[in-house]
A and B are shown apart, each in its own frame.
Chain A
């Protein structure tokens, strides 16, 4: 990839926003993006086919997700949750709803959270998400439904039914 620097400069804002949604931590989000680009740089400068990246943005997303989920797996056992200090730059229009969403997202398992972000922020299909995360399309659908069910239990999302998603969540007798 000859124009790596150009690609990276253009991709940083989007990658950073996704990283933010995955972590809600400014430093970790930056670290994720930086490590992703570092690895891509090394890959892109390899000689021959090993240095070929056909779909740079998809590659970047995949790398960042793997980095994030691997880090979460490593930390899971020894992690002690603390109250997060919001380091938002500016208040959102609907602050309550966004803060509630943030808290609800933080409650999800890392993989489920990634699925929600990829599905409803990045607008990826279930198949694309499955490809990124190494899951079957059916597994992504199931986990999407389950995660949305949990999000809907929060006040901000209680009356939200996203389009194209099954409406059978937590309705079993």
Chain B
């Protein structure tokens, strides 16, 4: 009589020996995933993050289409769009925290539900943030929430593209 336990045990011991670097692979992949997860958490952009990151990259690598547009909140004489960085702001660089906080505030603001972000960028000379939103009218509550979260001056620009 063949006992099922014995047969399973025999079969289990027929298993090929796992590759010696299986653990190493698992640890490396685990480490990579952990770093990616921490980076995402730092950015605070889970969910809508991809759109924001894309918009940021676009904003800092392409000419601003709204040069000279009404500058609603600037406190100095600098025109909108001047002095923009020419490369995406990486995590840890000046302005990255402010950008992340501003993006997060926009995403989390209930009043800004359904708003579409066109571009966002940090100006290292002015030390402030420029935001373009696909919207006809501003909302003071959203602007205030974003400014408070960013902790740096923020210029808002509204471009209704619909």
Chain A interface residues (CB < 8 Å from chain B): 5, 8-9, 12-13, 16-18, 20-21, 26, 29-30, 33-35, 37-42, 45, 87-90, 92-94, 97-98, 101-102, 105, 116-117, 120-121, 123, 148, 151, 156-157, 159-160, 162
Contact = CB atoms under 8 A, between A and B. Distances in A.
A20 B12 contact: yes
Contacts of B30: 37-42, 45
Interface string B118-142: 0000000000000000000000000
Contacts of B78: none
A4 B4 CA distance: 33
A160 B23 contact: no
Contact of B1 (A33, A40, A160): A160
B2 A121 contact: no
B114 interface: no
Contacts of B5: 120-121, 123, 162
A87 B16 contact: yes
B9 interface: yes
A45 B38 CA distance: 11
Contact of B11 (A5, A12, A45, A98): A98
A18 B26 contact: no
Interface in B1-35: 1-5, 7-19, 22-23, 25-27, 29-31, 33-34
Nearest to A151: B4
A92 B8 contact: no
B9 to A, nearest CB: 7
A156 B7 contact: yes
A93 B13 CA distance: 11
A85 to B, nearest CB: 12
B37 interface: yes
A39 B37 CA distance: 12
Contacts of B19: 30
A97 B7 contact: yes
Given A38-B30, A160-B1, A88 B14 contact: yes
Contacts of B2: 94, 97, 101, 156-157, 159-160
B146 to A, nearest CB: 29
A34, A42, A151: most-surrounded residue (chain B CB, <10 A):
A34
A116 B7 CA distance: 12
Given A5-B27, A37-B30, A41-B27, A157 B4 contact: yes
Contact of B12 (A9, A17, A39, A41): A17
25 contacts: A12-B18, A18-B12, A20-B12, A20-B14, A20-B16, A21-B8, A26-B16, A30-B22, A33-B26, A34-B25, A38-B29, A38-B30, A41-B33, A41-B34, A42-B30, A88-B15, A89-B17, A90-B14, A97-B7, A98-B7, A98-B11, A105-B11, A123-B5, A160-B2, A160-B3
